[in-house]
Structure 1
Amino acid sequence: MKLPPVLESAGARIVPALQLAFGELSPEIRAVVDYHMGWRDAQGNRVEKQSSKGVRPALALLAAAAAGSRPVETAIPGAIAVEAMHNCAFLLDDVMDGDRFRRQRETAWVVFGEGMSTLSGVSLFTLGSSTLLGCDSPNRHAAVSLYHDTFATMLKGQAIDLQMEGATEVSVARCLQMTEWKTASLMRCAATMGAVLACAPDSVIAGLRAYGETLGVAFQARDDLLGIWGRPHETGGRPPGFDLRARKATLPVAFALEEQGAVAAELRDVLLGTDPQDEDIARATLLVESGGGRERTIELAAAKVNKALDAVRALNLPEDIRTGFEEIAEMGRPDY
């Protein structure tokens, strides 16, 4: 997938800064992080092709620019922090969920073990916090508070996610609560961090906050669609129906179960079965779609993207900055 121009431009600034910052980690942990980030292979050899899109650090740069600041100087610590927290969450989630593939190759815990992967995730979180504390923004303590509050909210969302795994009586409201805490909170943090560091006025921060929290729900809804109907090259090597096989209570499933009819009843029976075979996953996929799960999730994602666009367009931003926010928002719109 070709990245929008805003991400290509931001990546040239962010990746060298990330590599320099992550160089402060111990050699043992750095090996895990470099592999997870896609910078090196399992043997430590450099990998030229980067796999991460860098949406969240790009948002941190745009947020500083929205405040009228020079983003490279002001928001790089914020970009490093949000990407550190994002990948901390990936490393820990992969261990907890038992996911064996991410970004077209085996996850870090499969290669280096659960203990090293967990240590690496926690190390990234602490590195992000110390990066913010060490920057020269007069608002650095407010940025650290935002960082810590966001992670605490993400942990609440992850707890719900683990609790719902395998459940067949999950409401749409419960799924949305989990999404808002686990995913949208980080997007909200990314969309406001640069503005906080740049001492933006409250009105700008409020607009960016609304943009980030609604866009985060759209991104999760799109990921939930990919977890059922996505192709391996779109899902980091996972097969279609992966989330159904793992019995994850995602938005399409919740929407389909909410109908409470014959389709929902059959879907529950399939999800409750042990050791599902390919034909069971194919049947469940059809049931989720016929129960309206796919259509309603697409509608939700599109509505959230539109709401995020409205929020950023209400701000008085230079055209190039607004366009950057718009390009990222459109990535949350399902294209199938």
Structure 2
Amino acid sequence: MKLPPVLESAGARIVPALRSTFAELSPEIRAVVDYHMGWRDAQGNAVEKQSSKGVRPALALLAAAAADNLPVETAIPGAVAVEAMHNCAFLLDDVMDGDRFRRQRETAWVVFGEGMSTLSGASLFTLGSSTLARSDSPNRHAAVSLYHDTFATMLAGQAIDLQMEGATDVSVDRCLQMTEWKTASLMRCATTMGAVLACAPDEVLAALRTYGETLGVAFQARDDLLGIWGQPHQTGGRPPGFDLRARKATLPVAFALEERGAVADELRQLLVAQEQSDEDIARAAKLVESGGGRARTAELAETKVDEALTAVRALNLPTDIRTGFEEIAEMGRPDY
């Protein structure tokens, strides 16, 4: 997948800052983090690969530019912090969910063990917090509070996610709450972090907060579609139907079950079955689609992308900054 120009440009600023900051980690932790980030292989050899698209740190830099107050460089600690928190969540989620593949190779816990992966995730979170605390921004304390509040919300969302695994009575509203807390909160943090550090006025903060919240839901809706119908090259190595096999209560499943009737009843039986064959997973995917789960999730993603675009277009931004926000928003569409 070719990245939009805004991510290519932001990566040139962010990656060196990430490497420099992550170098502060202990050698044992850094080995795990460097592997997870795609900077080194399991033997510690350098590789030319960046595992993350860098969406969230790029948004932090765009938000600082939208503030049009302090230099964009003021937001680099915020960009580093949100990427640290993002990858902390990945490391912890992979352990809790038992995911064995991410970004086209084995997850960190498979290579280094659950304990080291968990420690590395926690270390990234604390490193992000300390990076913000050392920022030169007069609003650094507000940025630290935003960072901690966001992580608390993400943890609450992850708790709901774990609680819903294997459940067949999950409502769409409950699934959306989990999405807003676990995923959209981090996107909202990314779009407001740079603006907070750059001392943006309230109206800019409000618009960027809406942009991040709505786009976060769109990104998760698209991921939920890929979790059932995506191919390995789109899902980091996971096979089609992965989320169904893992018994995850995602938005397409919640929408399909909400319809009730014979389709929902058969889908529910397949989801609770102790043994699931490849044919069962394929059948479940067809039932989710025929129950409206695929179409309604795609519609939700489209609606949320449009809401995000409306929020950011309401601001009086330079063309290049507005284009950057628009390019990232388009990544949330189902057919991207």
TM tier relative to shorter chain: over 0.9
Conservation of the 8 A alpha-carbon contact between 1:67 and 1:204:
yes
- 1:218-233 aligned within 5 A: 218-233=218-233
Aligned residue number for residue 16 of structure 1: 16
Q: Using the alignment, how far apart are the partners of 1:101 and 1:291 within structure 2?
A: 29
Which residues in structure 2 correspond to 1:1-336 (within 5 Å)?
1-69=1-69, 72-335=72-335
Secondary structure of the structure 1 residue equivalent to 2:3: coil
Deviation at 1:171, TM superposition (A): 0.3
CA distance in 1 between partners of 2:145 and 2:302 (Å): 31
Structure 1 residues not aligned, in runs of 5+: none
Displacement of 1:69 after TM fit? Answer: 4.4
Q: Distance in 2 between matches of 1:45 and 1:72?
A: 33
State whether residues 85 and 128 of structure 1, in contact with CA within 8 Å, keep that contact through their aligned partners in structure 2: yes
Separation in structure 2 between the aligned mates of residue 156 and residue 60 of structure 1, nearest angstrom: 23
8 Å contact from structure 1 (residues 165, 247) kept in 2: yes
CA distance in 1, matches of 2:129, 2:168: 38
Structure 2 distance, partners of 1:280, 1:81, is: 42
Supply the distance in 1 between the matched residues of 2:220 and 2:47 (Cα, whole angstroms): 28
CA distance in 2, matches of 1:228, 1:206: 34
Cα distance, 1:72 vs structure 2: 4.5
1:143-179 CA-to-partner distances (Å, cap 9, x unmatched) read: 0000000000000000000000000110000000000
Question: What's the offset of the Cα at 1:49?
Answer: 2.3
Contact (CA 8 Å) 1:302, 1:333: kept in 2 or not?
A: yes
Matched to 2:335, the amino acid is D
SS for the counterpart of 2:146 is: helix
- Tell me if the contact between 1:62 and 1:71 (Cα under 8 Å) persists in the aligned partners: no
1:275 shift after superposition: 2.2
**Alpha-carbon distance between aligned partners in 2 of 1:286 and 1:116, rounded to the nearest angstrom:** 39
Structure-1 separation of matches of 2:134 and 2:281: 50
The one-letter amino acid of 1:201's match is P
The answer to whether the Cα contact below 8 Å between 1:39 and 1:46 also exists between their aligned partners in 2 is yes
Give the Å deviation of 1:71: 5.2
Corresponding pairs, count: 336
Amino acid in the other structure paired with 2:256: A
**How far apart, in 1, do the equivalents of 2:261 and 2:144 lie?**
48
The TM-score with structure 1 as length reference comes to 0.99
Give how far 1:254 is off: 0.2
Structure 1 segments, 4+ long, off by >3 Å, are 69-72
Percent of counterpart pairs with the same letter? 87
> In structure 2, how many angstroms separate the alpha carbons of the residues matched to 1:226 and 1:46?
30
The Cα of 1:260 is off from its aligned counterpart by: 0.6
- CA separation in 2, counterparts of 1:277 and 1:30? 39
Deviation for aligned residue 1:70: 5.8
Q: TM-score, normalised by structure 2?
A: 0.99
Check the 8 A contact 1:61/1:71 in 2, yes or no: no
Gaps of 5+ in 2: none
